[in-house]
Chains A and B, each alone.
Chain A
C-alpha cells in the first residue's frame, strides 16, 4: 500500500522541484546566451535584443575565430601542455605513491610529512615566480628553450593527488604482491602488472584531475611563456578579452557582427570539446570527489 504523502513532505517536494528548476536554468542560461550572442547580428547584440535565441543570424564571428591561425595554435599548445603535463605528472605521482604505500619503506612518516606539509604551507606567488625564473634559466642553460617544457615539468604537481593514489595502492591486498614476488617479479613489474591494473579507476580519476588542471592552467602559463606563439588557449582567450574590451578597439570596430560576438564565439569554442568528452569522463569525475582523501 502506498503511503499518503504528508503535508510537510508535499511542501518540501514542491519547494525542491521549483528551486532545482530555477537553479538549473540559471546554470544553463549563460551558455545559451553565449551561443545566441555569438550567432546574432551586430545591432541585436549591441542593443540588448538578444535574450534567449539568436537574432539576425550570422556565422562571421565563428568564421573569424576559425580562420585565425593563432586560435588553432593556442589550441594545439593547450593539447601539448595537457598531454605531456598529464603524462609527466602521472609518472611522478604513480612511482612516488607506490613507494609511499609500502610499509617497509624507511622514513615513511618523514616522506609523508614532506608531501603533506606542502598542502598546509605554500610559499606564495612571488617566491614561486622567482623560483620559476631561476628554473627557466637552468632550462635555458641545458638547452631547453621552449617555455612549454618548463610549464610541463615544473608545474602542476599536487600532493593531494599523490595521497589519493597512495591510499588506493594501500588498498591492494599484499598477498597478490607476495605471490608476484614469489614468481620472480621485480618491483617495477609488480607495480605494472599488479598495482596499476588493480587501482585503474583511481588512476583514471587522478589522471583526470591532472588533465583538467593542465587544460585550465592560466596564471603561470601567462607569466612564464613569453612567446605569444606558445600561449595556451586560456591565455589566448584572456588576451583577446583584454584586447576586445579596450574602448579604442571597440570604437574602431566596423564589421557586420559585434565585437562581443567574437568573445562569445571564443568562449563557446573552448567549452565545446569538454562537453563532448564529458559523458565519458563523468563517472570518474564524480568518483574523485567521493574518495576525497579522507583518512582514518
Chain B
C-alpha cells in the first residue's frame, strides 16, 4: 500500500506547527525492505526463534513428512523406489476402492460403514454416560462417599489399551464345553442371555457381539474419567440458582431442565465438537487388539483395513492403503472444521 503525502506530516499540538512524521519513514522502509527487516528482527530475538526450532523439526519430520508419503495414493506402489520417484497413477487406487466391484472394494465400503457406525454408536451411548454420571455424582452430598465412587469409576482409565483389551479378551474368552470360558460369557449363559454354544465359541469370535463389546468396554474405561469435566461444570453452578428455582416451585426435573442443563450446555457443546471431530478417528489400536478374522464383518475399520493392505502385504498395497487413509482423513477433517464452525456460530464456543 502506497503512503499518501499527508501521512508524512504530523501536527504538533504543543507548538501548533506541522513537522515530518519520522515513524512513517520507518514504516516506508519496512515496506520497501520487508525481508531485510524480518531478518533483523529474527537476529535480534534469535534465542526465541532457536527455541521454536526443535518443535518445528519434530512436527516437520514426523507429522508432515508422512503426509508427503500419503501422496503414494496417486502413485503406482513400489516397494523399492521412494514415493517421489514412483510412477504417477492418477486416481486408479481411489477408483478401485470406490467402484472396483471386487472384494477389495466391498471390504473398503464395509470398513467405511464400520468406522462410521462404531463412532456413531459411541456418540449415542458413550457420550451421554459421563454427563449422567456427573449428575449422579452431584446428588451424593457426602464428600467421602463421593470420592469413593469417583475413585472406583476412574480406576479403569488407568489401564493401557493393551491391558484393557487383554482383560476383556480373558473375560469373554472361548471355552471347552461349559468349562474354561470367560467369567462374563459364563455369567451371561447362566442367566440365559446367550446360549452355552455362543458362550463357548467366545464372544469376540462372534461378529454380532463386537460392537457391543467395543462400546461397553469404552464406557467402562472412560465414562468415570470423562465425567470429571461435566462434574466440574455442575458444581460451579451457584446454589442460589437452585434456591431461586425452588422458590418458583421447580421440582427436581424442572431444576435439571432449567438450571443444570443450560449451565453445562457450553461444556457439552465443546465435548461434542471434540467427539464429532474425531468421528472417523476410531482408535485403531483398540480395534486391532480386539478383532480377529471372524469378526471383520463388524469390526474392520478403515485404519485396520489400510494397515492390513499396507503393512501385512509387504508393500504391494501401499497405494491402496494410502488412498483409503486419504479418504478417511479428508472426511474427518471436514467434520472437525464443520463441527467447529457450527458450534462457533451457534454458541460462541469453539475449540480452535
Q: Which residues of A contact B (CB under 8 A)?
A: 3, 6-9, 11-13, 15-17, 19-21, 23-28, 30-31, 33-34, 37, 46-48, 50-51, 91-93, 95-96, 98-100, 102, 104-106, 111, 114-116, 118-132, 135, 154-155, 157, 159, 162, 186-188, 191, 215-216, 218-219, 223, 234-235, 237-238, 241, 245, 260, 263-264, 266-267, 270-271, 274-275, 278, 285-286, 289-290, 292-295
Q: List 20 A-B contacts (CB under 8 A).
A: A3-B246, A11-B252, A16-B135, A17-B139, A25-B152, A91-B54, A115-B55, A120-B332, A122-B63, A131-B66, A187-B47, A187-B48, A216-B160, A216-B162, A263-B170, A278-B158, A289-B226, A289-B228, A292-B229, A294-B270
Cα A129 to Cα B69 in complex, Å, equals 10
Cα A17 to Cα B83 in complex, Å, equals 59
Contact at B322–A33, with CB atoms within 8 Å?
no
Contact at B162–A92, with CB atoms within 8 Å?
no
List, in ascending order, chain A residues with CB within 8 A of B65's CB.
Answer: 131
Give the interface centre of B277, B328, B333 by most chain A CB atoms within 10 Å.
B333
Cα A119 to Cα B59 in complex, Å, equals 11
A6 touches which one: B52, B179, B252 (CB < 8 A)?
B252
List, in ascending order, chain B residues with CB within 8 A of A128's CB.
Answer: 62, 66, 69
Give the interface centre of A111, A159, A187, A278 by most chain B CB atoms within 10 Å.
A187
Contact at B152–A267, with CB atoms within 8 Å?
no
- Cβ of B303 within 8 Å of any chain A Cβ, yes or no, is yes
A129 touches which one: B51, B159, B311, B349 (CB < 8 A)?
B311
Q: Give chain B's interface residue range (CB within 8 Å of chain A).
A: 35 or more
Known: A260-B170, A294-B270. A126 touches B59 (CB 8 A): no
Cα A17 to Cα B146 in complex, Å, equals 10
| Chain B residue with the shortest CB-CB distance to A238 | B162
Give the distance to chain B from A249, nearest Cβ to Cβ, in Å.
Answer: 14
State the majority secondary structure of interface residues on A: helix
A131 touches which one: B62, B136, B310 (CB < 8 A)?
B62
Contact at A121–B333, with CB atoms within 8 Å?
yes
List, in ascending order, chain B residues with CB within 8 A of A289's CB.
Answer: 225-226, 228-229, 232
Contact at B220–A127, with CB atoms within 8 Å?
no
Contact at B67–A121, with CB atoms within 8 Å?
yes
Give the interface centre of B48, B137, B251, B277 by most chain A CB atoms within 10 Å.
B48
Cα A186 to Cα B318 in complex, Å, equals 49
List, in ascending order, chain A residues with CB within 8 A of B229's CB.
Answer: 289-290, 292
B55 touches which one: A50, A92, A130, A285 (CB < 8 A)?
A92
Task: Digitize B218-248: 1 where CB-to-A-CB distance is under 8 Å, 0 elsewhere.
Answer: 0010011110110010000000000000100
B183 touches which one: A51, A135, A237 (CB < 8 A)?
A51
B350 touches which one: A98, A129, A295 (CB < 8 A)?
A295
Cα A37 to Cα B180 in complex, Å, equals 12
> Considering the complex, which residues of chain B in the window 150-201 have a beta carbon less than 8 Å from any beta carbon of chain A?
152-156, 158-163, 166-167, 169-171, 173, 179-181, 183, 186
Contact at A24–B152, with CB atoms within 8 Å?
yes
B253 touches which one: A8, A135, A223 (CB < 8 A)?
A8
Give the distance to chain A from B53, nearest Cβ to Cβ, in Å.
Answer: 8
List, in ascending order, chain B residues with CB within 8 A of A20's CB.
Answer: 133, 136-137, 140, 149
Q: A30-B156, A154-B61 are in contact. List 6 more A-B contacts (CB 8 A).
A: A16-B136, A34-B170, A46-B180, A118-B63, A263-B170, A271-B159
- Cβ of B7 within 8 Å of any chain A Cβ, yes or no, is no
List, in ascending order, chain B residues with CB within 8 A of A271's CB.
Answer: 158-159, 163
> Considering the complex, which residues of chain B in the window 327-352 have a beta carbon less than 8 Å from any beta carbon of chain A?
328-330, 332-333, 336-337, 349-352
Cα A216 to Cα B161 in complex, Å, equals 7
